């Protein structure tokens, strides 16, 4: 099986069987050729074992193709996106497996504004990648390589202008953080100090060993939960490897579905500024209630940071995100920023003087069922097409895979852009109804997979 | 014939022009081939001061990590110090990023095996075979690279115990040294101070470009000569970019010629260290034979190429040798060409004889040596060599490397280059006119055959 996955978010795979140093070298060369000579490209890794393996190949290739390199070592992708937006560097490559298991890694490409490349841009990069016609420069024009230890002052200053700095500090939060052995480990200490948060940090070593999959959800929140159940804290947050996603655990140790993150952050942000919300077809309907509460419109795109953030720009939205625990606030940066997300949640708690469990109650509860169906690469789209045929009489939406809307609930089945799986999300009034839909889907997919 | 590729894969490693053939992909593959060959462990990585060093280095790191080896980053380091480091740190091997005396647009990976020596030809062939097969060891351990703070330390210690420190220190020899802004720049001043020299350094900044072509030939020594005259120094030393070769300027500011660098070094060794057979390559001046006679030791001649000299030094249990291009090898320090060893030996000779450099030079028999190259296509070069063997069959011939003709007062070496489409001709004799006329005869013959 081919362990390499390409998508508009970049190139991703198991190292070295799928993603290896030759591919990383060519892909970085293609991106550098696409950007044009003489740009400064920021490079970050997320603390996986294969990080330096790939960053060394990437740095060499960027330099050889005439791009200057600023290597930040371990740094969250959102901070790299912030640095690009604020012109510290011209573009970026974040080497991160995001929420994938530890043997995966990926090269994510960030454009001049810190966005994930859109599909047209990334097509062009792939054309260059496949043609192998890379820019070659002589020794005088070789890109310079700088090693930069990130200075967080500016980032923290800007974030403190967006969230209510004083109110958070005054509340003297006590929080448990689970960094999933990822990039947020490198910055969270300074941020916590700045906001006077009394903190416990779990899994904050970036040695490449993961205590659990770096995918924020109730399953991976168990360590945080067990602390919160036994000790008195205000809550907990679980991050993914590159700091693009975060999920919430309340003060009683109850782990929220990652779908809550977008809704709660949106409640916090919409207090400050009204803006249409951009999300995906695969995100819980909770967000529709938040939109209704604040009287803002909602628009749903295909799944993926590239889709959501570029649509935000096109539709002049400042708030967007996905049910995976990802939120972008575009007046801050053009990427999903989990650090900004958790600070907005703290601000909302302080402002409204509410606990996390009380905030959860403000949002109507549905039963959500999310699962993956492993599938051979060649059969993924066939399965979706089959379902389109099966459900064609119902109310369907084909923005991404197939979405079927019914009175008692809805479901979406789509091809993952990052793994060889179908992602299924079912949301219904109660558990029984959700599982009834699952049984129906299992039956329809049986035999064709 | 089409122009020859700038890429050279040879016994000493892989070399090319950055921006043409010397790409990250090539470096990744070649590194992985070497790393697969040497087995698992620590691999030392260093570079000279070329501006392309960081690009190359990162690709080398990546290739080593991919094959499960731990890169040890030594920073900028002279190649002899690098070889010494590989030996005494017990690394499994090393890759030095240096194109030696080649112009700045070139770079290369020089491979060093366990024990700090270059590969013998059969080993190099095996590495190249792995490279060409393209199948490398695949690992998912991804070892972290480590940094070495003072990689010069092993070399420094060996040099200081090799030198007769008290005698050299006492003389407070005034030295101008230029390292061509190369790999020796961070180390040479501190080192010569330890020898008690009154030292003036020029072109000693690794972040500045090469001030001239980095080959220590007389035509590149103008700045050094001027400085020696200006400061009234006793001697001027020039190191090439990777600090294996040494050129010397006398107290009058005159370059003495690289052949005499070797002669002074060997003379000093035999007189003050110990008696040993000498090994030099086939193109080295016969001054060395004169020295051999003086000390009643044998002189062996190896094929061209540093590793060939080293190999014969091992065979004949020799402690001193080198190449007429200014590359002195003393086994007591390490079996490699080493400009630092050369400086120690020559300073010791100055200190102990109390003589001036020009006096020492004029104490040798004076020869005239001519080194030229004649353009010949690769296809023709081997045929021409066969014709020449036939033509000179009545002379005393040696076919170890090309054709060496030994004819009384003269010797000549004719050999096809393996880096350029040329045949190289070396002739040495006592009389300049004779040398010129012999050269004309040989070159006319080559040109005739070339048609």
Q: Cβ distance B415 to B348 under 8 Å?
A: no
B124-154 residues labelled b (16+ CB within 10 A) or e (exposed):
beebbebbeeeebbebeebbebeebeebbeb
Q: Percentage of residues in chain B with pLDDT exceeding 90?
A: 84
Three-class DSSP category at B243: coil
Which of B35, B81, B100, B339 is catalytic? The answer is B100
Question: Which chain A residue is nearest to residue B139, measuring alpha carbons?
Answer: A16
Is pLDDT above 90 for B409?
no
| Residue B9 confidence (pLDDT) | 87
Is pLDDT above 90 for B450?
no
Q: How many CB pairs under 8 A join A and B?
A: 97
Q: Cβ distance B189 to B201 under 8 Å?
A: yes
Choose the closest CB to B145 out of A52, A57, A208: A52
Dump pLDDT digits (tens) for A375-433. 988 888 999 999 999 999 999 999 999 999 999 899 999 998 778 899 999 999 999 99
Which stretch of A106-110, A283-287, B414-418 has the lowest confidence by average pLDDT?
Answer: B414-418
What are the residues whose beta carbons fall under 8 Å from the beta carbon of A44, sequence distance 6 or more? A72, A73, A74, A75, A76, A77, A79, A80, A92, A93, A94, A95, A96, A183
For B64, list phi and psi in degrees, rounded to 5.
-70, -45
Choose the closest CB to B58 out of A26, A60, A137: A60
Q: How many CA atoms lie within 13 A of B217 on its CB side?
A: 8
Q: Cβ distance B322 to B328 under 8 Å?
A: yes
What are the residues whose beta carbons fall under 8 Å from the beta carbon of A369, sequence distance 6 or more? A424, A425, A426, A427, A428, A434, A435, A437, A438
Choose the closest CB to A49 out of B104, B105, B142: B142
ipTM over 0.85: yes
| Residue A179 confidence (pLDDT) | 98
Dump pLDDT digits (tens) for B109-125. 999 999 999 999 999 99
End-to-end CA distance of chain A: 16
Is pLDDT above 50 for B1?
no
- Taking an 8 Å cut-off on Cβ atoms, the answer to whether B66 and A53 are in contact is yes
- For the segment B377-382, the average pLDDT, to the nearest whole number, is 84
Question: Which chain B residue is nearest to residue A60, measuring alpha carbons?
Answer: B55
| Residue B214 confidence (pLDDT) | 82
Optimal mutation site among B15, B45, B55, B136, interface A, most CBs of chain A within 10 A: B55
Dump pLDDT digits (tens) for B201-255. 999 999 999 998 888 888 899 999 999 999 999 999 999 999 999 999 999 999 9
| Residue B200 confidence (pLDDT) | 97
- Taking an 8 Å cut-off on Cβ atoms, the answer to whether A139 and B104 are in contact is yes
Q: How far apart are CA B437 and CA A414, in angstroms?
A: 85
A108-130 residues labelled b (16+ CB within 10 A) or e (exposed):
bbbbebbbbbbeebbeebbebbe
Distance from CA of B97 to the nearest CA of A (A): 14
| Residue B267 confidence (pLDDT) | 98
Q: How many CB atoms lie within 10 A of CB A29?
A: 28
- For the segment A92-116, the average pLDDT, to the nearest whole number, is 96
Q: Cβ distance B235 to B350 under 8 Å?
A: yes
- For the segment B386-414, the average pLDDT, to the nearest whole number, is 90
Dump pLDDT digits (tens) for A153-183. 999 999 999 999 999 999 999 999 999 999 9
- For the segment B319-339, the average pLDDT, to the nearest whole number, is 97
Optimal mutation site among A20, A56, A66, interface B, most CBs of chain B within 10 A: A56
B3 pLDDT tier (thresholds 50, 70, 90): low
Three-class DSSP category at B255: strand
For B137, list phi and psi in degrees, rounded to 5.
-60, 135
Is pLDDT above 90 for A446?
no
pTM equals 0.93
Is pLDDT above 50 for B2?
no
A80 pLDDT tier (thresholds 50, 70, 90): very high
Question: Could you tell me which residues of chain B have a Cβ less than 8 Å from any Cβ in chain A?
Answer: 17-20, 23-25, 27-29, 50-52, 54-59, 61-63, 65-66, 104-105, 138-142, 144-145
Question: Could you tell me which residues of chain A have a Cβ less than 8 Å from any Cβ in chain B?
Answer: 15-16, 20-22, 24-26, 29, 49-50, 52-54, 56-57, 59-61, 63-64, 103, 136-143, 145, 208
Choose the closest CB to A138 out of B105, B142, B144: B105
B417 pLDDT tier (thresholds 50, 70, 90): confident
Q: Which residues of B touch A16 (CB under 8 A)?
A: 66, 138-140
For B247, list phi and psi in degrees, rounded to 5.
-115, 155
Mean pLDDT score of chain A, rounded to an integer?
A: 95
Is pLDDT above 50 for A299?
yes
- Taking an 8 Å cut-off on Cβ atoms, the answer to whether B28 and A136 are in contact is no
| Residue A2 confidence (pLDDT) | 59
Q: How far apart are CA A196 and CA A174, in angstroms?
A: 9
A1 pLDDT tier (thresholds 50, 70, 90): very low
Pick the closest to residue B331 from B323, B233, B322 (CA basis): B322
| Residue B276 DSSP label | -
Dump pLDDT digits (tens) for A357-367. 999 999 998 89
Dump pLDDT digits (tens) for B52-94. 999 999 999 999 999 999 999 999 999 999 999 999 999 999 9
- Taking an 8 Å cut-off on Cβ atoms, the answer to whether B66 and A16 are in contact is yes
| Residue B153 confidence (pLDDT) | 98
For A228, list phi and psi in degrees, rounded to 5.
-65, -30
A82 pLDDT tier (thresholds 50, 70, 90): very high
Specify the residue for token string 């789509």: A414
A149 pLDDT tier (thresholds 50, 70, 90): confident
Q: How far apart are CA B294 and CA B276, in angstroms?
A: 12
Ramachandran sector of residue B332 (left: φ over 0; alpha: ψ -120 to 50; beta: rest): alpha
| Residue B4 confidence (pLDDT) | 61
* B5 classed as catalytic: no
| Residue B256 confidence (pLDDT) | 96
| Residue A150 confidence (pLDDT) | 85
Is pLDDT above 80 for A449?
no
Q: How far apart are CA B41 and CA B28, in angstroms?
A: 18
| Residue A353 confidence (pLDDT) | 97
């Amino acid at each position: 099986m081919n362990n390499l996955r390409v998508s508009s978010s970049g190139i991703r795979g198991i190292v070295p069987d799928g993603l290896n140093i030759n591919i990383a070298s060519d892909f970085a060369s293609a991106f550098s050729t696409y950007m044009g000579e003489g740009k400064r490209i920021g490079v970050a890794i997320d603390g996986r074992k294969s990080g330096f393996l790939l960053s060394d190949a990437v740095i060499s290739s960027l330099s050889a193709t005439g791009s200057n390199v600023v290597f930040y070592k371990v740094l969250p992708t959102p901070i790299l996106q912030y640095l690009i937006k604020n012109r510290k560097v011209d573009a970026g490559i974040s080497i991160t497996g995001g929420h994938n298991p530890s043997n995966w890694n990926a090269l994510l490409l960030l454009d001049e504004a810190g966005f994930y490349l859109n599909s047209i841009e990334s097509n062009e990069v792939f054309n260059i990648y496949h043609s192998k016609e890379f820019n070659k420069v002589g020794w005088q024009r070789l890109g310079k390589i700088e090693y930069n230890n990130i200075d967080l002052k500016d980032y923290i200053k800007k974030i403190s202008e967006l969230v209510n700095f004083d109110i958070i500090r005054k509340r003297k939060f006590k929080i448990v953080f689970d960094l999933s052995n990822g990039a947020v480990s490198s910055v969270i200490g300074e941020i916590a100090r700045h906001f006077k948060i009394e903190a416990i940090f779990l899994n904050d070593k970036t040695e490449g060993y993961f205590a659990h999959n770096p995918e924020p959800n109730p399953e991976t929140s168990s360590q945080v939960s067990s602390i919160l159940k036994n000790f008195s804290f205000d809550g907990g947050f679980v991050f993914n490897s590159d700091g693009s996603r975060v999920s919430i655990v309340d003060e009683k140790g109850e782990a929220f579905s990652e779908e809550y993150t977008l809704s709660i952050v949106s409640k916090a942000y919409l207090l400050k500024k009204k803006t249409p919300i951009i999300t995906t077809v695969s995100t819980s309907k909770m967000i529709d209630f938040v939109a209704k509460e604040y009287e803002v419109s909602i628009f749903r795109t295909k799944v993926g940071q590239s889709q959501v953030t570029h649509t935000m720009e096109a539709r002049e939205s400042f708030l967007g995100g996905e049910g995976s625990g990802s939120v972008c606030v575009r007046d801050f940066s053009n990427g999903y920023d989990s650090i900004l997300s958790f600070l907005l949640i703290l601000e909302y708690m302080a402002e409204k003087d509410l606990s996390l469990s009380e905030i959860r109650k403000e949002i109507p509860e549905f039963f959500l069922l999310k699962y993956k169906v492993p599938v051979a690469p060649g059969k993924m789209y066939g399965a979706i097409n089959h379902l389109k045929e099966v459900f064609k009489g119902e109310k369907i939406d084909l923005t991404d895979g197939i979405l079927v809307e019914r009175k008692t609930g809805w479901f979406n089945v789509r091809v993952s852009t990052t793994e060889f799986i179908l992602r299924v999300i079912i949301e219904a009034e109660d558990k029984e109804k959700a599982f009834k839909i699952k049984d129906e889907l299992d039956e329809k997919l049986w035999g064709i997979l | 014939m089409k122009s020859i590729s700038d890429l050279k894969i040879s016994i000493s490693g892989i070399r090319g022009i950055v921006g043409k053939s010397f790409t990250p992909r090539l470096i990744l593959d070649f590194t992985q081939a070497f790393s697969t060959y040497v087995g698992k462990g620590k691999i030392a990585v260093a570079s000279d001061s070329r501006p392309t060093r960081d690009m190359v280095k990162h690709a080398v790191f990546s290739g080593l990590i991919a094959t499960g080896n731990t890169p040890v980053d030594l920073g900028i380091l002279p190649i002899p110090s690098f070889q010494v480091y590989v030996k005494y740190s017990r690394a499994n091997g090393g890759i030095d990023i240096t194109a030696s005396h080649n112009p700045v647009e070139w770079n290369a990976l020089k491979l060093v095996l366990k024990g700090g020596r270059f590969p013998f030809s059969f080993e190099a062939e095996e590495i190249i075979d792995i490279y060409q097969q393209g199948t490398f060891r695949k690992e998912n351990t991804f070892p972290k690279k480590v940094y070495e703070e003072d990689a010069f330390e092993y070399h420094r210690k060996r040099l200081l115990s090799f030198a007769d420190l008290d005698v050299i220190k006492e003389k407070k020899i005034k030295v101008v040294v230029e390292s061509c802004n190369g790999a020796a720049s961070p180390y040479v001043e501190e080192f010569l101070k330890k020898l008690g020299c009154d030292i003036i350094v020029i072109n000693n900044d690794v972040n500045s470009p090469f001030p001239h072509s980095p080959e220590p030939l007389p035509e590149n020594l103008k700045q050094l000569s001027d400085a020696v005259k200006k400061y009234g120094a006793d001697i001027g030393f020039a190191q090439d970019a990777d600090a294996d070769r040494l050129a010397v300027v006398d107290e009058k500011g005159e370059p003495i010629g690289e052949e005499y660098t070797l002669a002074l070094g060997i003379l000093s060794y035999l007189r003050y260290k110990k008696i040993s057979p000498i090994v030099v390559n086939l193109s080295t001046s016969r001054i060395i034979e004169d020295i051999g006679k003086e000390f009643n030791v044998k002189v062996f001649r190896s094929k061209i190429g540093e590793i060939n000299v080293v190999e014969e030094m091992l065979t004949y249990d020799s402690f001193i040798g080198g190449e007429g291009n200014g590359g002195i090898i003393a086994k007591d320090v390490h079996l490699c060409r080493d400009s630092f060893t050369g400086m120690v030996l020559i300073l010791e000779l100055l200190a102990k004889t109390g003589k001036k450099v020009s006096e020492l030079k004029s104490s040798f028999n004076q020869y005239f040596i001519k080194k030229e190259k004649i353009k010949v296509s690769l296809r023709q070069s081997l045929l021409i060599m066969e014709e020449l063997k036939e033509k000179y069959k009545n002379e005393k011939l040696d076919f170890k490397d090309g054709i060496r003709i030994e004819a009384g007062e003269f010797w000549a070496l004719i050999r096809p280059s393996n880096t350029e489409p040329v045949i190289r001709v070396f002739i040495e004799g006592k009389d300049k006119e004779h040398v010129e006329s012999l050269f004309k005869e040989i070159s006319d013959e080559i040109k005739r055959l070339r048609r």
